[in-house]
Homo-oligomer: A and B are copies of this chain.
Amino acid sequence: MIIILQSGASEDQIQHVIERVEALGLKAHLSRGTFRTIIGVIGEEQKIASEPLRAIPGVQDVVPVLPPYKLASREAHPQPSIVEVAGVKIGGGNLAMIAGPCAVEEPERMDTIARAIKAAGANILRGGAYKPRTSPYAFQGLGEEGLKILREAGDQHGLPVVTEVMDPRCVPAVEKWADMIQIGARNMQNFVLLTEVGRTRKPVLLKRGMSATVEDLLMSAEYILSQGNSNVVLCERGVKGFDKATRNLYDVASVAVVKGLSHLPIIVDPSHATGRPDLIPPCALAGVAVGADGVHIEVHDCPERAKSDGPQALLPKQYAEVAAKIRQLAAMFGKTISTVPGR
């Protein structure tokens, strides 16, 4: 950590900063420049990352030199982590192909869709039983009943299941029925929920918030990791942008940024990132090419009747087409796609 003092900082102010740093158990190294004095803080700066040093009179700025997360960092864990979801591996050369409808609907529909995506090469089934909807008047999901429908479809077709949790009180139910717990973009900084899923040992799919930096995302992962749950998979699903041509702005480079900073697997979700069926296939391929550990795509067999997000769903045959290209690309990049058998 480097503390930059204001141009007019007095000797007393400089001494006060040094005393504060030393009282916190670190060493201060003073360097007087022509125009500014700077203080290098020597030691584990993360210990004092939350200290309001910038509020000390005479301080102009505080520049960290280490990342504020530890468990999520590549320095702490140089090899890429592999997260296993009921037999399906994600990360470290293993590609996840997650697909399914936005919301869990009736059992027959789930069965139809699950069969189709399995045939197309998907290895994990998604579906929301608790839906975060911007309108209180929109379909809010089937609740625990939906969890059972999802479980049944997954078991039938050999697809581990992932589903979102929004309420800390629902974590036990989701933990019971699902193989992987999703934290949605709107809850990426719902620290209560992060702590709660951190207490389980289920794999967590943590989606990036719409205005979250990569550092914010890794700090949210750190919440889960710090509770002892090391099974975290990150997901890039678009950030807020100014061009309404797409629903969100697909930040594909963030996948490569994460790879440099963290050992955690990261997948892409071109469905939410673009919100447009015509853009999902090319953006899915871009995600694999940039190095993502998986692709998450929403699929529905009758989008115009879907209870949620119909306009951005791919039809099963459209999914099959892009899945074939993803496999081709995965082979070129030396990636493995692991699967588990159905009944």
The count of identical subunits is 4
Whether A191 lies near B166 (C-beta < 8 A) is: yes
Whether B244 lies near A254 (C-beta < 8 A) is: no
Which chain B positions have C-beta within 8 A of A250?
251-253
CA distance A279 to B256 in the complex (A): 6
Which chain B positions have C-beta within 8 A of A249?
239, 241, 249, 251, 253
Nearest CB on B from A281, distance (A): 9
Nearest CB on B from A86, distance (A): 27
Number of interface residues of A (CB under 8 A): 109
Contact with B along A137-178 (1 / 0, CB 8 A): 111000000000000000000000000001111000000000
CA distance A337 to B43 in the complex (A): 50
With A136-B226, A211-B211 as known contacts, state yes or no: A282 contacts B255, CB within 8 Å: yes
**Minimal Cβ-Cβ distance residue in B for A134:** B219
CA distance A285 to B126 in the complex (A): 28
Contact with B along A246-271 (1 / 0, CB 8 A): 10011111111100100000000010
Contact with B along A66-95 (1 / 0, CB 8 A): 101100000100000000000000000000
Q: List 10 A-B contacts (CB under 8 A).
A: A52-B306, A57-B304, A63-B63, A68-B135, A69-B135, A134-B219, A136-B195, A249-B253, A288-B289, A329-B332
